[in-house]
Structure 1
Amino acid sequence: MTGSWPASPAQQGMWLTERAGIAGRAFHMPLAVWLDGPLDVEALREACAEVARRHPVLGGVLAEDGGELRVLARAVPPMGEGGDLHEELDGPVDPVEGPAARFTLIREDAKRHVLLFQAHHAVFDGESKDILLRDLAAWYGGAAPAPLGAAYPEVAVRQRARLADALPAAQGYWAARWQEQRELCLPGLSGVSVAAAPGSALDFVVEDLGGLAERLEVTRFEAVLAAFVALLHAYGNARPAVGVDLSTRTELSRDHVGAFVNELPVIGAPEGGTFGEFARSLRVELRRLYRHRGVPLARAVDGIGPRAALTPVSLSYRRRPETSPLFPGLGASVEWMMFNGWVRNTLHLQIVDDQAGTAARLQYNPALLDRAGAERIREDLAALLVAVAADPEAPLDRLPLPGPVPAATVTAVAVAVEDGPVPADLVREIQAIFAKELELDDVEADDDLFDLGGHSLTITQIMARARERFGVELSFEVFIDDATATRIAAEVARLREQAC
């Protein structure tokens, strides 16, 4: 498939972070399936090609076009063959230069192979894993999946229309709720970050999450989130902000591979009473939040610049279907929680829940949170979940909650930009461009673009206006550290002088 379509808000945010140079490999999503038996390699190769044709976003790259960020459809490379799984995991996936996704087959012996799929989060999400393997297994078996209800570009256009309709209500919802938190209390913590970094991980199993949720009359996600928030509060965080990944899928996008997800903060804390009372109150607040799940926070409030994660602490929960992919004539096992070796913030709790049990993983930045601290968090959370499973209505002050720990402060993310001369008339022209793109009457020379409500799409529009007006290609990085009219004007002046 060829063509292009508007980038989604999630894709715009990831593009901004990639261009800012603070993403690392944090948005790389590996998925491995071990295939045991007499594999038909050519049938698998053709199945991979059919999946790529069915889901054109996998070949999409993000590009600025006249002030708009768009997804340009390109072909996904044919299934390659590799020799070592760990070496192949280091292979690139790039949503700007491409390819954003790739298939690699690794032969372990005559009757055991590993199919490694890698994709950038800009074209793939957690639910996409099941969709991709379901479609892949169907084609391998010679039975094409049912046609999709709508082409991906149509889904993307409708998603953008829903965002425009939902934006005013989301702005009202967040006006009294969002406040940037600069400190975090965790055991073993020396700093706080929302930039990507090489990470470490600790795995554990959550027992009887379904039974706990049923007794509390909440969902499994709500039960584990309530326990996580209660633990963070016990460490000394007055009102913890936990970034959660929320699906934005609709009936139209249900069977599409893509990035149908939005990270939003859940902010709150228990205020006495029982754990059950807190879990149910959290459920009520989540129901209010869900009404705005399609609107990125950076669109609804001002002052949120590029970052790999919305908050220093986050949680993702995915309830998998009860069925696993069936490749005819083969045994198949899937590593659904394959770790990419990076973290997007300070601490992330990942939960994958299916018929085999509830797998949990703490991912953390070891440069900021030491292993002993991470292990204590894992142990404290596991103990709390066991206790509330035994007595969901236990008073909070009788649960095995830890005491407060010292706070650490957020580490700023900065990109250095060289200073240059700033002609006053040029500053005024940039101010006018800012005002036009932000739909404001006036912008001061030292007003920060993000504080004024700017976001990734605003930057692409300003870059396009600068190209038309001044004949220069602004670097995306210039907006990251100091997104003011004065700073941008200095960069324009520098580029014009350089071109002379």
Structure 2
Amino acid sequence: MSMSLMNGSEPASLAQHGMWVTERAGLGGAVYHMAFAVHLDGPLDTYRMLAACGAVVRRHPVLAAALVERDGRLHMAPAAVPPKIGYEDLSDGGPALLPGSPEWLASPLSPGLDLSTGPVSAFTLVRLAPDLHTLLVVVHHAVCDGVSEELLLRDLAAAYGGAELPPLPVSYGEAASAETARVEDKLEEAARFWRSRWHDEEDVLLPGARRARLRAVPGEAVDLALGGGVAETAERLGVTRFEFTLAAFQVLLHAYGNERATVSIDVSTRTEQTREHVGLFVNELPVALTPSGTFAGFAHVVRRQLREVYRLREVPVARALGGISPRSALTPVSMSFRRVDDEIGFAGLDASVELSMFTGYVRGTLHLHALDSPYGITSRLQFDPEVLDRASCEMIAADLRALIAGVVARPDAPIGELPLPSRAGSVQAGALPATGAFPEAVPAFERAAGTETEPDDDLIGEVTAIWCETLNRPDIKPDDDLFDLGGHSLDITRIVALVRERMDVDLSFEVFIDAPTVAGIAEEIVRSRR
């Protein structure tokens, strides 16, 4: 099957660039694999379903793309390995794994995704019984967001029903270029906005937490029933269900002793031009507030803060401010909340859909995932088991449920009168303070102990010149930290490209995490030449 981008090679978006650098630095991987499943009951036409998958890829060629760096710039290009569209028959008792489960996704049955070579998407139709099938779709987050899952489902159903999928009005690259231009226009405004609001808080107080972490690791999840009454209470207060849930989450974090309750949220950056596009149109932005007064009043404070943030929704904080190192999560605690209004039907079949399935990885310390559908709000807490044990996460879930139940009963009550945990104001006994983003990272020069890596003055001068050129600074010292100088992921890519061009050395992106200084980069160049 031949798949290609509309224009052969197109510029990547800023969000894709940030994700690509994170993955190249060893901080991404399977955590960026998004999965959803369609369970189909009835006389399914196997050939027609597989053909529908191909039609969806043709309409959305980003699903057949790879991200490649050329001369310090990131582009999308046709992937060397096309999307996998396959069929598995497990009706005769195959592996005792549920399609789409974390165990299934980690098994040989699950197709591996590769952002550099492809595939970046995979469609697997699994036959479980003569009239029972599951279509599992796994897509790399760099070419897919939550809304994209719904678009994929809608197009799959339409194509299976015999409809011809129309071409998109603009290419993904054109949309990405337009977004980048808008971001450039808003950079100064965004810098002013975030300068007083951004605090690089790598610590968080949670019951039983041993430390905080901002990198992707194998994770676990606890299902969380928010309880009835959320929709009605939010409407009564004049806020959205998302605003209500975020306010409750922040009140709980504050009760655990966090002076500023900081939660990073996923914000859609879609426009009228990109509303039909499958792709990455989302930005992660922090909301940091100190709860006070009544819950109703604080919920409106959250609402006003979000309205301010939304004005600059397309601008990544790291791009506006610089000085933020590549990481899997912007802050230790994050939240995603998505509303799904439409039900998807497949011709002649009874269909049920599982959106945003848990893939067995978490990209921070604690993440609250909520999906608001016609069937109600379903949610789960995803957590890093090396930071929080399951009992502690279940305690957090119970505390949030109790708090929300209290708010539903008395939405106008002062926050101090709500059912807050008795541990308020302190970390659970026995917990250790947070230790930062990458406690297990070992500087490159320590890993290479015993080898000669001391760069000479000429090499230090060459690397310094590259940094000055990239960062547009006249004077940089050998021990200056790239991120303290305001560097960001685009600067890393340019430095790597200039070192490759002038010194014929391919730098590892990981060195910018371990030793992000001129001296550290020069030492890595010496090691690479040995």
Note whether the superposition's TM-score is higher than 0.5: yes
Q: How does 1:298-447 map to 2 (within 5 A)?
A: 298-321=318-341, 323-402=342-421, 403-406=424-427, 408-413=433-438, 414-417=441-444, 418=448, 420-447=453-480
Shifted more, 174-183 versus 33-42: the winner is 174-183
Whole-angstrom distance in 2 between the partners of 1:461 and 1:78: 33
Residues 146 and 205 of structure 1, relative CA distance in 2, 3 Å threshold: farther
Aligned to 2:46: 41
1:279 alignment partner, one of 299, 319, 323: 299
CA distance in 2, matches of 1:51, 1:67: 31
Q: Does residue 240 of the first structure (1) align with residue 261 of the second (2)?
A: yes
Of the three residues 168, 179, 185, the one matched with 1:159 is 179
CA contact (8 A) 2:202 2:437 kept: no
Shift of 1:287: 0.9
Distance (Å, rounded) in 2 between the aligned partners of 1:439 and 1:78: 44
CA distance in 1 between counterparts of 2:478 and 2:521 reads 10
Matched residue, 2:113: 93
Q: Percent identity?
A: 50
Q: Deviations over 1:190-217 (max 9, x none)?
A: 1110111111111122222221211111
Q: Aligned partners of 2:419 and 2:46: how far apart in 1?
A: 53
**Quick one: which of 483, 486, 489 aligns to 1:450?**
483
Return the match for 1:80 from 72, 75, 86.
86
- The whole-number CA distance in structure 2 between the counterparts of 1:222 and 1:377 is 19
Instruction: Determine whether 1:9 maps to 2:25.
Output: no
Corresponding residue of 1:270: 291
Summarize deviations over 1:370-396 as a string: whole Å, max 9, x none: 112111111111111111112211111
1:234: Cα distance to partner?
A: 0.5
Return the offset for 1:467. 1.5
TM-score of the two chains, using structure 2 as the length reference = 0.91
Aligned mates of 2:30, 2:507 — CA distance in 1: 25
User: Do structure 1's residue 468 and structure 2's residue 501 form an aligned pair?
Assistant: yes
CA distances 1:378-419 after superposition (whole Å, capped 9, x unpaired) = 111111111111221111111001222326313442254236
Structure 1 residue 27 displacement after superposition:
1.0
Q: Conserved in 2, the CA contact under 8 Å of 1:48 and 1:78?
A: no
Deviations 1:206-243 (A, max 9, x none): 22222121111111111100000000001100002111
Q: Which amino acid aligns with 1:177?
A: R
Q: Which amino acid aligns with 1:39?
A: L
1:325-346 CA deviation, whole Å, 9 max, x = no partner? 2110011111113110111011
1:343 corresponds to which letter in structure 2?
V
User: What is the identity, as a one-letter code, of the residue corresponding to 2:87?
Assistant: E
2:252 maps to: 231
SS in 2 for 1:409: coil
Q: Write out per-residue CA displacement over residues 150-174 of structure 1, whole angstroms, 9 at most, x where no aligned residue.
A: 2222111111111111111111111
Matched to 1:300, the amino acid is A
Letter in 2 for 1:14: M
Q: Using a 3 Å threshold, how does the CA distance of structure 1 residues 397 and 412 change in structure 2: closer, same or farther?
A: closer
Contact 2:59 2:166 in 1 (8 A): no
SS at match of 1:351: strand
Please report how far the alpha carbon of residue 147 of structure 1 lies from its aligned counterpart in structure 2 after TM superposition: 4.1
Q: Give the Cα separation in 2 of the matches to 1:469 and 1:386.
A: 62
Deviates more, 1:75-84 or 1:200-209: 75-84
Encode CA deviations 1:254-273: one digit per residue, 9 max, x unaligned.
011011101111001112x2
Once residues 166 and 403 of structure 2 are traced to their aligned partners in structure 1, the CA distance between those partners, rounded to angstroms, is 45
Kept in 2, the 8 Å contact 1:35–1:332? The answer is yes
Partners of 1:235 and 1:346 in 2: CA distance: 15
Contact 1:55–1:256 under 8 Å retained in 2: yes
Of 295, 303, 308, 2:315 maps to 295
Are residues 1:54 and 2:73 paired?
Answer: no
1:185 aligns to 2:212 (yes or no): no
What SS class does the counterpart of residue 272 from structure 2 fall into?
coil
In 2: Cα distance, 1:77 partner to 1:470 partner: 36
Q: Which residue of 2 aligns with 1:29?
A: 34
Aligned-residue CA RMSD (Å): 1.5
* Matches of 1:186 and 1:88, distance apart in 2: 31
In 2, Cα distance between the equivalents of 1:122 and 1:415?
28
| CA positional deviation for 1:350 | 0.4
| Structure 1 unmatched ranges of 5 or more | none
Question: How many corresponding residue pairs?
Answer: 495
- Decide which of 282, 293, 297 is 1:261's aligned counterpart: 282
Gaps of 5+ in 2: none
Compare 128-137 and 94-103 and name the one that shifted more.
94-103
* Kept in 1: contact 2:264–2:333 (CA 8 A): yes
Q: In structure 2, do the counterparts of structure 1 residues 283 and 387 end up closer, same or farther at CA, with 3 Å as the change threshold? A: same
Amino acid aligned to 1:283:
R
* Whole-angstrom CA distance in 2 between matches of 1:72 and 1:457: 19
For 2:138, give the aligned amino acid: Q
1:77 Cα deviation after fit: 2.7
Query: What secondary structure does 2:250 align onto?
Result: helix
| Contact 2:83-2:120 within 8 A present in 1 as well | no
List per-residue Cα deviations over 1:267-317 (Å, max 9, x = no partner). 01112x210111101111111111111111111223211211001000000
| Helix, strand or coil at the partner of 1:279 | helix
